[in-house]
Structure 1
Amino acid sequence: MTTMSADRRMIKMAMAAPYLERGEEHALALRWKENDDRGARNKIATAHMRLVISMAGKFRNFGLPMSDLVQEGYVGLLEAAARFEPEREVRFSTYASWWIRASIQDYILRNWSIVRGGTSSAQKALFFNLRRLRAKLAKGDTQLTVQSIHQEIAAALGVSLNDVQVMDARLSGNDASLQAPSISGDSDSAERMDFLVSNEPLPDEQVTSMIDGERRRKWLASALTHLNEREMKIISARRLAEDGATLEELGADLGISKERVRQIESRAIEKLRSALVVADPHMAAFA
């Protein structure tokens, strides 16, 4: 079955679902809230799928698949069903509309562009109203400049002029692929990603660091052989474990005082330092 035929079937089923009378809707909502009756919740959701489809249709111009918009709207519908309070005597459709719209808008903001379109409520309002207001202003007064249109929109939505200009630039431009040919490259085959600056160490620095790290691990393993069993246990628990043990914990485990544990630890560190300095003077800073 193709995606288009599946979408049509879903719309047909939603439109065929019977409307709920106010009393029946209230009774189903009570069953869901008081008895966790999922069947009642699903019946409410099914009866309002046409609302989801209608809401999703208002956002089809953002270039995302209608089926995805409907699915996200359905998520909002289920969230509304979970939060609905029938004792407030409000029709479910009125309450659910906000959740459906919010779910669809959040999905659009996450997927419309690789650059996030907005995070605050003001930015979201700007994202979803900029095109409409710009077209309305331009149609009403052909003498308006782009700057004056931006100023009008900023005043209407209560956002800064800079926010309007930045958002307009985002909506007007396309996402650029990092694999697209670079117009400034020295080679005809150069891609945009070839000119990105990396903060990672250079390959030779990474190899040097890896070799040095392996060498130091071997030196440390050799130095640890100079410790006796109790010293090794204390150093392992205090210095080599991810969550170091306290002096009190080790004292209780070994049957000695915490001061004695500290003394043994200090002596063990000195033995390690001496062994490491013999291997490499730069390792004198260990512990």
Structure 2
Amino acid sequence: MTTRPAPSRSADPDRRYLKQAMDTPLLEREEELALATAWREEGDEAALHKLTSAYMRLVVAVAAKFRHYGLPFPDLVSEGNIGLMQAAARFEPERGVRFSTYASWWIRSSIQDYVLRNWSIVRTGTTAAQKSLFFNLRRLRALIRDVGSGALSPENRAYVAQALKVGEDDVEQMAARLSAVDRSLNAPFSEDGDGEWQDLLASEAPDPEESVMDSRDAAKRHEWLGEAMARLNEREQLIIRERRLREEAVTLEQLGERLGISKERVRQIEHHALGKLRKALVEAVGDPEEAGLIPAG
């Protein structure tokens, strides 16, 4: 008895989606307008579903244009669907523009952002100039028959910069990025395999000496602040702790209700207590701002 191999489950949903996208009929202008209006004005989710389903084929068509970047096609389609939903959320039918025209921009933008985020391990950039270069540099190089993958000649670099309205330095940097190959930080940097490229990266963490000094400085600042706080009475200490030493300060009104006084009186006590604290800290350390005990300014 011959057994047939089981169909790939991971591929089935993708094929079903593509078939559904292609089989869903397009909308006439009047029906599109009615559905968009029902969703925008009444929150009709059935209208939203019918509107977006009719343009899933548009998502597939736009996503197909980005397949050569080497990213999974289903992921491109998923990002395009996000753009389609964003278009539906922002579409204003009263402006008289077809939804398909409006949605195309959002779909393309969403897919482009995804490609930029994932095309290379090293981020390519997301400024307007970088995006324009990333998606048009190869096309323009082919147009002027500069088919190499290295640096552009000065004439060709100037041509691309003028065509895309970007700086020549931006063109040169993008050409270098697109021609470079990602290198794993775990790859050995010598033939004997004794070390990896990541071993050459400088650590951003403080060295042991800095850590010890920072710890000692913090302990000393805490000691100075404690001695200064001891000069305040109980009510002043409470107000300073609640207003100045918490991540989320308590409001003057809340403290006033808690202490049975007006919020203006709380403000006056706080101001007086801060003056006493500053005086005590000046006596102990000189300038409390330079000592890092109070914010500068």
Class of the TM-score when normalised by the shorter of the 2 chains: 0.7 to 0.9
Distance (Å, rounded) in 2 between the aligned partners of 1:61 and 1:206: 49
Asked if residue 206 in structure 1 is aligned to residue 194 in structure 2, the reply is no
Q: Name the SS for the 1:182 alignment partner.
A: coil
C-alpha offsets along residues 186-231 of structure 1, whole Å, 9 cap, x if unaligned?
x842222222223432123213432553466467657756765345
TM alignment of 1:226-265, pairs within 5 A: 228-237=233-242, 240-242=245-247, 243=249, 252=261
Distance (Å, rounded) in 2 between the aligned partners of 1:53 and 1:260: 67
For 1:76, the equivalent position in structure 2 comes to 83
The one of 9, 26, 31 aligned to 1:19: 26
Distance (Å, rounded) in 2 between the aligned partners of 1:121 and 1:256: 53
Distance (Å, rounded) in 1 between the aligned partners of 2:198 and 2:266: 60
Distance (Å, rounded) in 2 between the aligned partners of 1:254 and 1:11: 65
The answer to whether the Cα contact below 8 Å between 1:138 and 1:149 also exists between their aligned partners in 2 is no
The answer to whether the Cα contact below 8 Å between 2:229 and 2:277 also exists between their aligned partners in 1 is no
For 1:175, the equivalent position in structure 2 comes to 182
TM alignment of 1:52-67, pairs within 5 A: 52-67=59-74
**CA shift for structure 1 position 13:** 1.3
Of all paired residues, the percent bearing the same amino acid is: 48
C-alpha offsets along residues 81-137 of structure 1, whole Å, 9 cap, x if unaligned?
222233344332222211111111111112212433343333322111111221232
**CA shift for structure 1 position 155:** 2.7
Distance (Å, rounded) in 1 between the aligned partners of 2:41 and 2:263: 57
The structure that is helix-richer by fraction is 1
For 2:170, the equivalent position in structure 1 comes to 163
Corresponding pairs, count: 276
The answer to whether the Cα contact below 8 Å between 1:231 and 1:268 also exists between their aligned partners in 2 is no
**CA shift for structure 1 position 168:** 0.9
Asked if residue 149 in structure 1 is aligned to residue 151 in structure 2, the reply is no
Instruction: Let me know the Cα RMSD of the aligned residues.
Output: 3.9
Q: Name the SS for the 2:21 alignment partner.
A: helix
The answer to whether the Cα contact below 8 Å between 2:80 and 2:110 also exists between their aligned partners in 1 is yes
Q: Name the SS for the 1:190 alignment partner.
A: coil
In structure 2, runs of 5+ residues without a counterpart are: 1-7
For 1:30, the equivalent position in structure 2 comes to 37
The answer to whether the Cα contact below 8 Å between 2:188 and 2:194 also exists between their aligned partners in 1 is yes
The answer to whether the Cα contact below 8 Å between 2:236 and 2:269 also exists between their aligned partners in 1 is no
C-alpha offsets along residues 10-68 of structure 1, whole Å, 9 cap, x if unaligned?
11111111222233222222222222211111101111111110110000011111111
The answer to whether the Cα contact below 8 Å between 1:227 and 1:271 also exists between their aligned partners in 2 is no
Q: Name the SS for the 1:3 alignment partner.
A: coil
Per mean C-alpha deviation after superposition, the further-off stretch among 44-53 and 169-178 is: 169-178
Per the alignment, do residues 231 and 269 of structure 1 end up closer, same or farther by CA in structure 2, a change over 3 Å counting?
farther
What residue identity is the alignment partner of 1:146?
L
**CA shift for structure 1 position 8:** 1.5
Distance (Å, rounded) in 1 between the aligned partners of 2:251 and 2:41: 50
The one of 161, 186, 195 aligned to 2:200: 195
Per the alignment, do residues 261 and 195 of structure 1 end up closer, same or farther by CA in structure 2, a change over 3 Å counting?
closer
Asked if residue 117 in structure 1 is aligned to residue 124 in structure 2, the reply is yes
**CA shift for structure 1 position 238:** 6.0
Distance (Å, rounded) in 2 between the aligned partners of 1:83 and 1:266: 53
Distance (Å, rounded) in 1 between the aligned partners of 2:123 and 2:25: 39
The answer to whether the Cα contact below 8 Å between 2:232 and 2:273 also exists between their aligned partners in 1 is no
Distance (Å, rounded) in 1 between the aligned partners of 2:92 and 2:272: 65
Q: Name the SS for the 2:145 alignment partner.
A: helix
